A and B are shown apart, each in its own frame.
Chain A
Amino acid sequence: MKPPSRVREMPILRVIARALVPVILLFGLYVQFHGDFGPGGGFQAGVIFAAGLIIFALVFGAEALRQVVPVVLTERLMAAGVLLYGAVGVVAMFLGGEFLNYSALDPLTTGHYGQHLGIIVIELGVGIAVAATIMRVYYAFVDRRADEDGTGADPALDAGAGGEAT
């Protein structure tokens, strides 16, 4: 057990972070789902959401964040986000349109509803992928110190995936 760093001993930071993190996360979700009416979108939302969680980790320690979002989960979410984006395109193909032709998602009304639905879902995919990627990058930096033996092994992943049968 390492001695607590100075940041973690500061009560003001701890209290404010505890109050702010939920708001930041909520704001991230707002930017995500309001992106079709106002400024925003998946990329920005993903960055804000991940930034909120990283602030949490900076104040309460990366271990605390790891319990909420394990490293393996970030990797899965990275892939899942991309897959969600691509799946919209493939579904549009199955419904008779071109790849990523959102209009095909709503064959009945031939109006803007399909376009609306399509952009919401792909932006959700972008948001998930971006948030997960930024957190994975953060974990990679945090765990760098443990990797000074120079083996090139990635302790973040090895710790996270240790119990998992592959």
Chain B
Amino acid sequence: MIEKILVLEVVLPLLAAPVCVLVRHPRFCRLFSLGVIAACFAIAVALLVEVRGGGVISYQLGGWPPPLGIEYRVSTINAYLLALVTAMALVVFSFDSRGGPPRVPEQRRHLYYAVFLLCISGLLGIAITGDAFNIFVFLEISSLSSYILVSLGGHRRAVMSAFYYLVMGTIGGVFFMLGVGLLYQATGTLNLRDIAARLEPSLDDRGTVLALALLVVGISIKLAVFPLHHWLPNAYSFAPPKVSAFLAATATKVSFYLLAMVLFTIFGAPFVFEELRLQAVLLPLSILAMFLASGAAIFQTDLRRLLAYSSVAQIGYMTLGLSTANATGLAGGLVHLFNHAVMKGGLFLVVACLLYRVGSVHIDALAGIGRRMPLTSAALVIGGLSLIGVPGTVGFVSKWYLVSGVLERGWTAAAVLILLSSLLALVYVGKVVEVVYFRKPAETQPIDHVREAPLGMLAPAWVLAAAAVFFGLTTDWTYGVAREAAELLLAGGI
């Protein structure tokens, strides 16, 4: 049954978007979108259950068999990504932001929902499709809609940061496209598995090496790998808070999958990590990201910027897991996708609660807010502890497997550096917690009127905070699935 309706995972949100534009009723659009996302989540979970243990479901669009037609192919790693994106979309979308983004008047609210659905559809499409050009199309759908979403933030600079994101994202998209073009030239096919089967990468073949370089750089821009991360802090800190939560929890995760898929499935681990030795670039950049971005986070005075820089650092952990190229490390990187989505999504929702009640998330404005908004602040602390990697939270699970993977590879120094970088996270999280709980509110900014956030906001934030603890204690569905996916990737499968 599920293999018959697999395509609905992408088609439902894709077609729900024009329905929202046609109906134009904001309340209907909101509930309708929520229903569609819930249905997508149900399909994703059903797919994950179906393919766990090595199953593969293939779907031929239009009845044209691959490699000529477009193939949707779901194995453990795709289903994991689909479940991650839809789960985060569901939680974030159910967050009641009381009237949507500030720059969108009531009579155009339906367009906001339509764009949100398109963004989800694009991200799901990247994760599900087995066709290189189809990936590019979905990459553009998700990117274009996320530029729009970012530009809807209340601050004037939101538009500028969205434009910067657009320029960087388009460069990334063009690099990706060029890479796909070179692969097409080398193999004459666009089906990913077919490319992988026909491609015989070697260092003497300049075209193939160039294709790899273009693909890696293009995806790295979208993923915000360390020196290419400049669009991210602005985009995340000026976007509407709900959008920041959604993008932080999903967009970079899908790009990470794309990078892993290109390296392991298309080019294969032996070529990339033994012949070309990509880890010689990836490993130092990951470690630099962990330290420099965490260091930058310490000096931020705006909570959203702090979290955004922390995201850049966390992406460093993921790429570190990628560069180990062994099952434990790669699984650590993959499980960090989910774990980071849970904690950073939760933290950005907390930020949205604070923005709604306090009106600012400047560090000084939050002084003493822990007494006025105890539940929101508690969720903030849980998310923060998870960023540090305290045992019992999801952050610990990721770091445990990352360190194991790195040690398995024999990189003792890198393992030490992972642990040291956690200390930086301790500093920036500690700074926020200190202000929220122990500092007296400034005379100029009385907070007596501030009340606890409404339930419609608090509940989604707490769902993610609770998930950060729950999945920190049971790892069967997170690490278990990630391990399977990692082994699949290392074997060159998809």
Contact = CB atoms under 8 A, between A and B. Distances in A.
Interface stretch (B103-111, B224-232, B337-345, B415-423): B103-111
Interface residues of A, number: 28
A58 B245 CA distance: 44
A152 B110 CA distance: 17
Interface in B1-38: 4-5, 7, 11, 14-15, 17-19, 21-22, 24-26
Interface residues of B, number: 27
Contacts of B60: 98
A98 B107 contact: no
Interface in A77-118: 78-80, 82-83, 86-87, 89-90, 93, 97-104
A101 B19 CA distance: 22
B62 A98 contact: yes
A157 B108 contact: yes
Contacts of A161: 107
A76 interface: yes
Contacts of A76: 21-22
A99 B7 contact: yes
A80 B5 CA distance: 23
A5 interface: no
Which residue, of B15, B60, B105, B159, has the highest number of chain A Cβ atoms within 10 A? B15
B107 A79 contact: no
A89 B72 CA distance: 15
Contacts of A101: 62-63
Interface string A146-166: 000000111001100100101
A158 B5 CA distance: 40
B18 A99 contact: no
B15 A100 contact: no
Given A76-B21, A161-B107, A166-B107, A82 B15 contact: yes
Nearest to B114: A79
Interface string B229-265: 0000000000000000000000000000000000000
B428 interface: no
Nearest to A157: B108
Which residue, of A87, A101, A102, has the highest number of chain B Cβ atoms within 10 A? A101
Nearest to B4: A93
A99 B159 CA distance: 37
B25 A99 contact: no
Closest 7 CB pairs of A and B: A79-B18, A101-B63, A79-B21, A86-B15, A100-B62, A99-B7, A82-B18
Interface string A1-41: 00000000000000000000000000000000000000000
Contacts of A93: 4-5, 7
A103 B15 contact: no
A104 B107 CA distance: 40
Nearest to B108: A157
Contacts of A97: 63
A154 B152 CA distance: 13
